[in-house]
Structure 1
C-alpha cells in the first residue's frame, strides 16, 4: 500500500472537495467527459445492484457509505431495497434529497447489526482512519452480511503507464493507494472473509482520460481509449484491473 505524505489534517480535508470539478458531489454534465461519465455511471449502477441481488436475493437493508448524490441508493430503492446512506458533504446530501433519498452525515444514528449489505464505492481511499472504518462496518453489518469495497489499483497497467500523472492517485483527496495484497493485510484478523472480486472495467478508460489531461493538458479520447483497452486486456492475465470491487462476508 502507498500512503499520501504529507497527509492533510481532518480539518483541511473538506476544502479539497470544494470544487465544481469533483463530479461525485456535483452531478455535473458540462463537458463531454462529464456526459460520458454520467452515462457509464447509469449502466454501472444497474450492474452493481445485479451483483448484489445475485449474492443477496432476499433484498433487505443496504447502507452506502460515501453515498455522494445518492444515485446508487436510488437505483437500489427502485429494485426493492430499504436504503440508507452516509455522506459528509452537505451539497451532495442536498442533491440526494432532491432525488428523494435522505442521507445521513455519519453513522451516529445507526444501530449495531442493522444492515444486510454495506457498500463503499471508491470511498475507502478517502478515509483518514482505515482500522476505525473497518471496525465501524463490522459493527453495523449483520452476521453473514455482505460488504463490498471498490478501490483503484495502483498495480494496474494504466497506473504504471501514467505514473505520477495517473488520475486515480488523486492526491491529497486519496490518502491510501491499494494493491490486492494490501487488502489482504487490511482485513486479516477481522471478522470478514473475502468471497469474490469484480473488475470495474470502465474505470480504466475514464481514469486514462483524466490522466491524459494531467500529462498533456489536453483531452485525448483516442489515446485514453487505447490505454484503457490495453490495461483491461493485460488484466485478463494478471487480474490487475484499474479498479477492483472486493466482496466480503461477515463471519460472526
Structure 2
C-alpha cells in the first residue's frame, strides 16, 4: 500500500451501503473510521441491530442470544476474581441482560444506555438505565464494564478519563472489543463484520488499547478471550461477503481463528481488565 497508515476501505452492510476507510492513528496502534458521521444515530436505525432490540427472528439472532446467555455468568466470574467490591456500572448496557444477571448474583448494579428503545426494554426487566454518566459520583464504583461499547464512543480520551474519575482507587475497568489482528479479521478484510462501520469508530489491537489505557494511568491486569465471537463474526462476515451466512464455511474460519490464537493470543475479541493506578 502506498500510504502505510491506510488499512482498508469498508462498507456499511447494515444501513446505508456507504464506504468508510480505516486509518492507523499516529500515536497508538488503533484504527480510526474516516469520515466520522455527523449524525451517527441514523446508522443504528435498523431492526437488525440486535443489541438494541432483543431481536430473535433469524437463526443468527438465535445463536447470538444462546451464546450471550451462556457468557453472562462467565463474565461475572471473571470480574469477581479481580475485584473485592460489588458496585458495578455497565456502560452501553443495551437491553440490560448483563445487569439482570449481576443483580441476581447480588451485585449493586447501575447502567447507562443512550438508546431510548433499549432503555425501555431494560425497564421491562426491572433495570432502570440512565441516559448518561452525569448522575454518578466520583470514586464511587468498584467495576465499570463496557461490553463491545468502547469502539462506539466518539472521544476515547474523554471516555477513559470518565472511567478513571468514577472508579474507586484500584477499581477495575472491564473492556471488551474486537481485535483487528485476529485471523478472521485478516481473512475477511473489508468484509469483516466486526469493523461494522460507521457504528464502530475505533478498531483496536492489544498493543494499542493497552498503551491507550496506560496513558490514563490504568494497568492491564488480565486479558480473556471471547472464543465464541470468532464464529458469530465469521457468520456475519460470510453474509457480508457472499450474501449468505454459509454456516460451514463460517464455522471453519471461526475455529481456525481460535486455534491460531492459542499460539498468537490474537483472538477475534478480547476482554481487557484495567486497574486504576
Q: TM-score range by the shorter chain?
A: over 0.9
TM-score by length of 2: 0.88
Deviations 1:51-70 (A, max 9, x none): 111222x4521000000000
Residue 246 (structure 1) aligned with residue 275 (structure 2): no
Equivalent position of 1:140 in the other structure:
166
Q: 1:184, CA displacement in angstroms?
A: 2.4
Q: 1:181, CA displacement in angstroms?
A: 1.3
Residue 179 (structure 1) aligned with residue 205 (structure 2): yes
Decide which moves more: 190-199 or 207-216.
190-199
Structure 2: gaps spanning 5 or more residues: 1-29
Aligned pair partner of 1:8 in 5, 16, 37: 37
CA distance in 1 between partners of 2:68 and 2:215 (Å): 34
Q: How does 1:45-194 map to 2 (within 5 A)?
A: 45-56=72-83, 58-194=84-220
- 1:201 and 1:15, CA in 2 relative to 1: closer, same or farther beyond 3 A? same
CA distance in 1 between partners of 2:272 and 2:81 (Å): 15
Q: 1:188, CA displacement in angstroms?
A: 2.5
Structure 1: gaps spanning 5 or more residues: none
SS state at 1:92 partner: helix
TM-score by length of 1: 0.97
Residue 26 (structure 1) aligned with residue 53 (structure 2): yes
What stretches of structure 1 move > 4 A for 4+ residues in a row?
Answer: none
Write 1 or 2 for the structure with the bigger share of strand. Answer: 2
